[in-house]
Amino acid sequence: ARRVVVLISGSGSNLQALIDAQAHDELGGEIVAVISNQADAYGLKRARDAGIDAVVLPHREYDSREAYDGALIKVIERHEPDLIVLAGFMRILTPRFVNRFLGRMLNIHPSLLPAYQGLHTHARALSDGVAEHGCSVHFVTEELDGGPVALQAEVAITPEDTEESLKAKVQAREHLIFPIAVCWYLEGRLRLEGDAATMDGTPLPPTGMR
Ligand code: GAR
């Protein structure tokens, strides 16, 4: 089976969606390890409950980003993954790390990229008064939240929405699209070719598939 390593920092609801997809034979591979930079991440319990190797690698124990990412590379490579999945991993990655796994790393981001890169995406979308928001699965490149988009899902913002309600709506979509993108990758259909994400060999538009 194709091997997946998932990196998390928190709740791990996207990890859970991936675990559930695997349980239904819909992931196209096996999650062989979950790694968290936060010792108290709830996602670690989700991993253990699913019988998956759960590793804590606290960034505070390293002097520099380079040292941490070097240690992270070692732990990841021990598990010989075909794909590294960033599921709420709230760390900026070094160029060395990104390039080591270039074309083999997918991230989920809570906005319709290229809109709202960075943090606090729901609050920013609300305060701008935009009608459409959502989430994106993209390949990780050196450009933070700037790698080629594979798949997006939209949600409508309504006048009643709060940051919390919007986050819940977007995350429900994340849980739908992330396992699909991972499966397409593991089947060899979704790839990074040069600067573009491709599906079945066809380059995708900048906003990926929707
Ligand atoms: C997700 O909503 C994901 O889009 C976001 O963190 C959340 C993690 O939730 N990621 C980022 O903001 C990346 N910059 P989860 O731990 O419940 O999956």
12 CA → ligand 1 middle, Å: 8
Confidence of residue 125 (pLDDT cuts 50, 70, 90): very high
DSSP string computed for the chain: --EEEEEESS--HHHHHHHHHHHTT-SSSEEEEEEESSTT-HHHHHHHHTT-EEEE--GGGSSSHHHHHHHHHHHHHHT--SEEEESS---PPPHHHHHHTTTSEEEEESSSTTSS-SS-HHHHHHHHT-SEEEEEEEE--SSTT-SPEEEEEEEE--TT--HHHHHHHHHHHHHHHHHHHHHHHHTT-EEEETTEEEETTEEPPTT-B-
Which residues are annotated as catalytic?
109
Band of the pLDDT at 56, cuts 50, 70, 90? very high
CA dist., res. 21 & res. 137, Å (int): 16
Closest CA to 206 of 155, 104, 138: 138
Q: Nearest C-alpha to atom 6 of ligand 1 is from which residue?
A: 88
User: Considering the entire predicted model, what is its pTM?
Assistant: 0.98
Residue 32 confidence (pLDDT): 98
Of the pLDDT bands very low, low, confident and very high (cuts 50, 70, 90), residue 178 is: very high
pLDDT, position 5: 99
Q: What is the mean pLDDT of the chain?
A: 98
- pLDDT value of position 71: 98
Q: Token digits for 156?
A: 């409508």
ipTM value, please give it: 0.99
Mutation pick for ligand 1 pocket among 174, 176, 178, 182 (CB with most ligand atoms within 8 Å) = 174
The confidence score (pLDDT) of residue 185 equals 98
Percent of the chain predicted with pLDDT > 70: 100
Indicate the pLDDT class of residue 23, thresholds 50, 70 and 90: very high
Mutation pick for ligand 1 pocket among 46, 171, 176 (CB with most ligand atoms within 8 Å)? 171
**pLDDT computed for residue 77 by the predictor:** 98
Mean pLDDT of 161-166: 98
* Model confidence pLDDT, tens digit, residues 129-152: 999 999 999 999 999 999 999 999
- Pocket flag, ligand 1, residue 86 (CB < 6 Å): no
A 10 A CB-CB count for 95 gives 12
pLDDT at 99: 98
pLDDT value at residue 47:
99
Atom of ligand 1 nearest to the CA of 43: 16
pLDDT value for 51: 98
User: Closest residue (by CA) to atom 1 of ligand 1?
Assistant: 88
Bind-site residues: 12-14, 65, 90-93, 107
Shortest CA distance to 89 belongs to which of 68, 74, 112, 103?
68
10 lines ligand 1 (CB under 6 A): yes
CB 136 within 8 A of CB 152: yes
Measured from the CB, is residue 111 less than 6 Å from ligand 1? Answer: no
